[in-house]
Structure formats: structure tokens, C-alpha cells
A = this chain, B = another copy of it.
Amino acid sequence: MPELRKDPVTGRWVIISTDRSKRPSDFRIERPAVIGVELCPFCAGREDMTPPEVLAFRNHGGAPNSPGWDLRVVPNKFPALHVEGNLDREGEGLFDRMNGIGAHEVVIETPDHGKTWATMSEPEVERVLWAFRERILDLKRDVRFRYILVFKNHGAAAGATLEHTHSQLIALPIVPDFVREEVEGAKHHFSAKERCVFCDIIRQEVAAGRRIIHENADIVALAPYAPRFPFETWLLPRSHAARFEDAPRNVYESLARMLKSVLQRMNRTLECPSYNLVIHSSPFSEQATDFYHWHVEVMPKLTRTAGFEWGTGFYINPTAPEEAAQVLRNAKL
């Protein structure tokens, strides 16, 4: 059974997922092989290589777990957390732990092995967002969960070991550190000013324009003022809203269009980088409606400087966001 453990100094929770554990000799390979099309468990016709689907979009019919699907969501075959059991919260002197209860699902975004968000059609990308929403609404009904992490690793350098485009959901019984930090920062700003800090950022950035990458009816894509990574990009809904899953249809349409546009721009100017993408949304348990503002963060993996930042927790970014925004803004699509 995986465990959730809390660091007694910083309060940071981590998952100790011993089910996936490796013997020391297994650690020698720093870069695991990427699974290509020959052995791909996500291609159409290989449905028996994944656990049974928990959701599928089938515009042209077809039985569950058989070909004909447009999108499938399946439990992760090697989950970081287990869905069955009790949390059994307990202390051991200074230390706090609970069982690693949670859900870990994979969204197989298309049956086509060769597609990416940059080459999929806008409705295909939008379909992925609707799948996220549907799974979040379902998982939220489980009262053991406090947060659902929606993320996508694209490319080997971003940690993806399967080539076939996919994203992941992890439902957690705790609120992860980085969300807590953002929620607390936003709460602090709101209590001082009675305004959402993200709304303030959007207003100031749209007026200034220097760090804006692209705008459409509902979404603003910008390079944040203090980015950790070169070409880090945030996609924010113009209208204040705390939760991704509560967005209206037009916002998903606009977000899909913007995601495709931003990733195409990165592909043009940065030569198809690996990237990590994550949706930041309000924890369920928080009364954060007034002050938190959901958004998407995209972090291309361009440099090998990660080592330093990993060790020190401190970020040195060699590219000014004004420069990154200009490059992406002017990309020829």
C-alpha cells in the first residue's frame, strides 16, 4: 500500500509509492526507454493492454473496451495511489502519515499514435478538456479526496515514457504544497485588497502587453512576470472563476484553441520541445471562490539546469519573460 507522508519541518506531503519500488540496481538507467508504436498499449485495438475504461467517448458507437473510441480514460496500470481502503491517518511521534488512498487515471486522448495537442483539431483538444471535467466531477463525489491534479507530460525529457499522447489525473486526500502556496498567496492578496491577484495580473498584463503571448475571447496566454523556467507560459480565463470544472462551454472551446495555438508556437520556435502541463484549480474543501483563479501552466523542458533547481529549490532562468513572450507572440503559424 502506498503511503502519504508529511515532512515535519516544511509540512510538505509526498507519496511513498513502494508498489512501484525498484531495487537499487534498477536505478542505474537514468532515462528509461520510451515505448513507441510497436508496443503501444494506447493504440486502437490494444484495449486489452489497459485496465477497463472508466470513461470513453464513442461518436461512432462500439462496445466498451473495444475499438471505435475517440477518447478513453482508464485507471493507471501502475498507480501511484490505490483507490480501495481507508486513510487510517496516524502519527508516529513527530511524523504524520496516512494510507496512499487516491485515484490515478490516464486519459488516452486519441486512438492515433502520431497526434499531439499541436496537431489534433481544436474539437479533439476540447474533447480532452471535457473528459477532465467529467472525471473531476465524478471523483469529487468521493469525500476522501481534497484535490485532483490534472497534468500532462509530453516527451521523454518531461518524464513521459509512453509516446502516445495522454494526460493523467491524480485524486489526492491532501492538498499538495504548490497549490496550498498559491491559495494562501491569493487569500493574502484578497484580504488586503478585496481583489483576486490573478484578475489583477491579467488586467495589468493586458494593459502593458509586453508579456502577452496571445489572447482570444475567453483566455489570455502570457509569460508570467517571475517565471521559473524559460518560456514558462500561463493560460488564464479572463473571467474570474476558482474551478476549472465549473467553466462554461465557451471557455473550454477558447482554452482548446489557445492550447493548440501556444503549443504550435512552441513547436515552431523551440523545435517541438518536451513539456509539462498542469491545471491549477481550487481545492474542493477551500472556500476559495472569491480569491482563487484556475489556470493552466505549461513548462517546456529546454535546459539541463534542472539539477541546480532540484537541489536548491531556487530558480535561475536565463530567458526574460518579455523575450519569451515576444518570440512566441511573433511565431508564424
Which residues of chain A have a CB within 8 Å of any CB of chain B? 3, 5-18, 20-22, 24-25, 27-28, 30-32, 80, 93-95, 149, 151, 153, 156-161, 176-178, 181-182, 185-186, 189, 197-198, 200-201, 204, 224-231, 269-271, 273-274, 276-278, 297, 299, 301-308, 310-321, 323, 327
Contact = CB atoms under 8 A, between A and B. Distances in A.
Contact of A276 (B153, B182, B274, B307): B307
A315 B285 CA distance: 21
Contact of A304 (B10, B31, B176, B182): B31
B313 A178 contact: yes
Contact of A151 (B95, B201, B312, B320): B312
**Closest 8 pairs (CB-CB, A-B):** A159-B307, A276-B311, A178-B313, A158-B307, A5-B226, A27-B302, A7-B226, A176-B314
Nearest to A27: B302
Nearest to A300: B27
A12 B177 CA distance: 13
A287 to B, nearest CB: 18
A78 to B, nearest CB: 10
A311 B7 contact: no
A204 B94 contact: yes
A17 B176 contact: no
A323 B161 CA distance: 25
A157 B30 contact: yes
| Number of copies of chain A assembled together | 2
Given A186-B9, A302-B30, A157 B21 contact: no
Contact of A224 (B7, B224, B277): B7
A17 B318 contact: yes
Contacts of A204: 93-95
Contacts of A11: 185
